[in-house]
Amino acid sequence: MKPETVYAYVSRGQLTSHRRPGGRGSTFDAKEVDALIRRGGRREAAAPSGGDLVVRTGITLIDADRCYFRGVDATELAARYSYEEVADWLWTGRMRPGTRFTAPAEALAAARRSVAALPAHSGPMDRLRVAAIAAAAADPLRFDLSPDAVLDAARGLIPTLVDALPAAGRPVGEAGGGSGERGATALGSRETREARESREPDWRVGAAADGEDGRVAGATADGEGGRLVGTAADGEGDRLVGTPAGGEGGRPVETAADGEGGRFVGTAAGGEGGRFVERLWLRLTARPYDEPSLRVLEAALVLLIDHDLAASTLAARVAASARAHPYAVVSAGFGALDGPFHGAASGLAHRMLAEVLERGSAAAVVADHLRAGRRVPGLGHRLYPGEDPRARALFDMLARVPRAAEALAAAQDVVAATARHASLHANVDLALSVLSVATGMPVEAGETIFAVARTAGWIAHALEEYEERPMRMRPSGQYRGPRPPQPLP
């Protein structure tokens, strides 16, 4: 430690100096120095490549093309546990199987009202930011930064963010999307009744199920105009399964067979029922889900919980260092995530993969990117010399999802085509784009998954930072302007 640093601590009252009797210089209590180091989370030496800030953390380690959460391989966690279980374990150090997060009623109502008031063209990140602010305003205890209070806030905020989003393809204000103006859909555009009916299956009793003269058996639910969806045979032994949406005026969620003899299982679109991953799915795509697809989405949430000090995580820690409450910490993370070089990267990969499928040639699309001087999206990561382990894990799971086969093959073609020019490996953005393209999710879906998942990581970093000295994340600027004195302008 430099002498000037020591005396700066003395001037701030954080160290006590004792003048040596009859001599020059001062002495300091060793216990105070040790306590200061423990409390301050010493700033390490700058990396030789660019003077990056390095902060001690016990959350994520990236080493030898592997990613570990608290010393446990992240891919193994993703294969075994749910997002809520891993998030809670990351915060507390205790794995509690069956952990479920629940949105507080008042916070969810406020978030849904706020989301419904946004313009029709608003995107998912706009809605997530507004939902976080509304949830904060609904929590009078948000300034309590004790660990238990922060954990309570986090366990309520994450489901609030998801349940405040409208169901995919449904107007904001219907069941699952809050009250307010109608007409703005979950994809950020307006949709006519005719357009919705042309896209959605006909759930009327007696309507044909498909082109093979399948029959739907059903019955009216009650005198309130509700409808129950029955089952249908399609000639292959598959069944269409649906559930009523409940008493909130919602419609049953469409379901369909996957062509491989399996079943798609749908649930009501309301935010109160169903697993967390199911509710998120219904806000990302109007297509029905199957269990293999849900497992991929769940694994993606787990794998994206944290990734060392990414830009959004650093922003979250700076906010926590200033003792911002957890909702503000998450809002700070959202702000940094909204940039084109961070959360939006998966959208670029989605567009590229969709173009590959449309043109039928990965080589042509890759060539266009290189000719225009653009990087090929979804490839390479500065922290992994080899393949991103998160991408590898998701690709393995996507290989077991029949409807993802075409998009997965296209992604593999992109990697192969690029390998002729540079040794670049797939990253997690390319894996997310396979999921989103294959399941009819919008371009913004990958960013939404990223934002929801990373919220748990930001809370974990906030809990760490709250234990450090306040305002320690205060670097000094290196002035490059004209030297004073300068004349008045």
> What's the distance, Cα to Cα, between the start and end of the chain in Å?
42
CA distance 301 to 454: 8
Instruction: Give helix 83-92 / helix 445-465 axis angle, nearest 10°.
Output: 20
Active site residue 121: no
For the entire predicted model, the pTM comes to 0.74
CA distance 257 to 33: 67
Q: Which of 381, 388, 413, 461 is catalytic?
A: 381
> Can you tell me which residue has the tokens 């009623």?
105
How far is Cα 57 from Cα 247, in angstroms, rounded to an integer?
A: 47
Sign for the CA dihedral angle at 202, 205, 207, 209 comes to positive
CB atoms inside a 10 Å sphere around CB 409:
14
Average pLDDT of the residues of the chain:
79
Tokens at 254, concatenated: 């469409």
Higher per-residue confidence, 13 vs 109: 109
Cα distance between residue 129 and residue 136, in whole Å: 11
Q: Lowest-pLDDT range, 58-67, 75-84, 178-187, 341-350?
A: 178-187
Which residue's entry shows tokens 């934002």? Answer: 451
Residues of the chain with pLDDT > 90, as a percent, come to 63
Contact present, 274 and 372 (Cβ < 8 Å): no
Question: pLDDT class for 307, splitting at 50, 70, 90?
Answer: very high
Cα–Cα distances in angstroms (integers) from residue 309 to residues 160, 240, 317, in the given order: 25, 45, 9
Catalytic residue chosen out of the listed positions 388, 425, 429, 461: 429
Catalytic residue among 307, 342, 350, 461: 342
**Catalytic annotation on 350?**
no
The pLDDT-based confidence of 234 (bands split at 50, 70, 90) is very low
- Which pLDDT band holds residue 252 (cuts at 50, 70, 90)? very low
Of 98-102, 171-175, 313-317, 328-332, which range is least confident?
171-175
Look up 144 and say whether it is catalytic. no
